[in-house]
A and B are shown apart, each in its own frame.
Chain A
Amino acid sequence: MQRNSVAIVGAAESTHMGKLPEMAQIQIHADSALNALADCGLTIKDIDGVATAGHNAVELAHYMGITPTWVDGTSVGGCSFMLHVRHAAAAIEAGLCTTALIPHGESGRHWIGRHGPSIFPSLFQMQFEQPYGVTRPPTMFTIPVMRYMTDYGLTEEQLAMVAVTQREWAGFHPRASFRDPITVDDVLDSKMICYPFRLLMCCLVTDGGGALILTSADRAKDFPTKPVYIRGTGESAETPLISQMSDFTSSRAFRVAGSTAFEAAGISHGDVDHLMIYDAFAHLPIYGLEDLGFVGRGEAGAFIAEGNTRLGGQLPMNTNGGGLSYMHSGMYGMYALQEGVRQMRGTSPAQVEGAEISVVHGVGGMFAASGTIVMTNVA
């Protein structure tokens, strides 16, 4: 792929987020898509490519009135939208479509008009993991962390600081679910969910959506919005079984997706002005910072606790408050992408002044898959 040959021209979240008992899941998709179309001055008839996850892409295309020449139903969990951006950029560059819509809508809290889990259940997970009492993500995603804590000395206080730091960022965002400041003690005193994880180290469960519209960089110049160019991308997968991760202190999928994206973008870590790392749980930014190569192995807990990722720090990260404080419908990747776009447009309520490169890194399943997008506002 050529750098910056495709741009995000339309981006919007659902009109409301949080609790949407009045909307079926597909309508949350549509609401988000219509907002993204309005954002860039297009109509649904301008869309000839569509990609989504967690919902049937065909049903979505029909519901929206789209006649696509390119359809992508890649569904690998919450980072599916990073993969869609990557695939859409390739499709546009290859001429498979001209204008791609990537909508996300999830009735994550109310389960209205929702068929089932957002990713296919794994046969092996049902056979070799679920009989031991794993149920929802807090009982699985957290399992490697004790190994990490033992090997590298990560503390519960450092884990808590991830949540504290992100709540500071959420305070800037009127649309964030939780905005009131919290302390390390608040986190460590919150309800035990799955030792060593307390409630405030776990993501929200909300309803909501978002959508992106991509087209070629040549056409992007004619849009009312500031183009956000796709400079580099990466994706990978490891295993649907948390017990079979090859390294409990590092995600292979993160490392492959991240290094692929950085190489494609031709950037080094010092070039990155803004970073989003999908945070379904407090340890994910820690794994992400290390696996993307921003810090050495075992260093990310201290890096965050020392304030490097907060306002005024050298690496502003998860500036919307993340899945821990902003919103998390189940497939959070779309919201990380939206904040990356806002930062590149210069419109985030927590704007990083002068930011030119944003890296948005997602996880799918429990370290099962990953996608990384390097965005820039410099053509």
Chain B
Amino acid sequence: MSSDGRVIPVPTPETQHYWDGAKAGELRLQRCTDCGHIYFPPRPFCPTCGSRAVEVFTASGRGRLFSYVINHLPSPGFTPPFAIAVVELEEGPRLMSNIVGCPQTPEALQIDMPLEVTFERLTDEITLPQFKPAT
């Protein structure tokens, strides 16, 4: 946790590549080299076929706003109201994000709007992938 109470991710050996990627400004996913499935969250085997033959690659960082809420409840480290969203990546997987760089209103946040990844530095160790309206 940070000093303002915000939850800071704690990587495990199996997820370290994802956080290393974010720190380097890359959104990294994993792909099964046996069945081709691309998946998230990270794990060293394919959740579709069970193969351990998986590789890490850098995703395009492009996606669309799949669903969201605008949270009005207090949340440590955040100033309500703010959007909590799920982004569907071009490559298929979905992940949670905030939507930065735009008003936190239903008018500005349109379902299916194109988004692109950006990175928010939280600590020396942890940088968080975030999404903003695509330019």
Contacts and interface: CB of A to CB of B under 8 A. Distances in A.
Pairing of A with B? yes
Interface of A: 123-124, 126-136, 138-139, 142-147, 150, 191-197, 241-244, 248
A63 B14 CA distance: 41
Contacts of B73: 135-136, 138-139, 193-194
Nearest to B19: A127
A303 B82 CA distance: 32
Nearest to A191: B72
A146 B12 contact: no
* B6, B67, B85, B106 interface centre (most CB from chain A within 10 Å): B67
A43 to B, nearest CB: 46
13 contacts: A127-B41, A128-B95, A131-B128, A132-B84, A132-B128, A133-B71, A134-B75, A146-B111, A147-B111, A194-B73, A195-B69, A196-B106, A241-B41
Interface residues of B, number: 38
B72 A194 contact: yes
* A127, A139, A150, A196 interface centre (most CB from chain B within 10 Å): A127
B98 A133 contact: yes
A132 B69 contact: no
Nearest to B105: A195
A196 B84 CA distance: 12
Which applies to chain B's interface (DSSP): helix, strand, loop or mixed? loop
A377 B77 CA distance: 53
A144 B7 contact: no
Contacts of A127: 9-12, 15, 41
A196 B69 contact: yes
A196 B68 CA distance: 9
Contacts of B15: 127
Interface in B32-80: 40-41, 66-78
A192 B73 CA distance: 9
Contacts of B67: 143-147, 150, 248
B122 A131 contact: yes
B68 to A, nearest CB: 6
A139 B11 CA distance: 23
Contacts of B84: 132-134, 139, 143
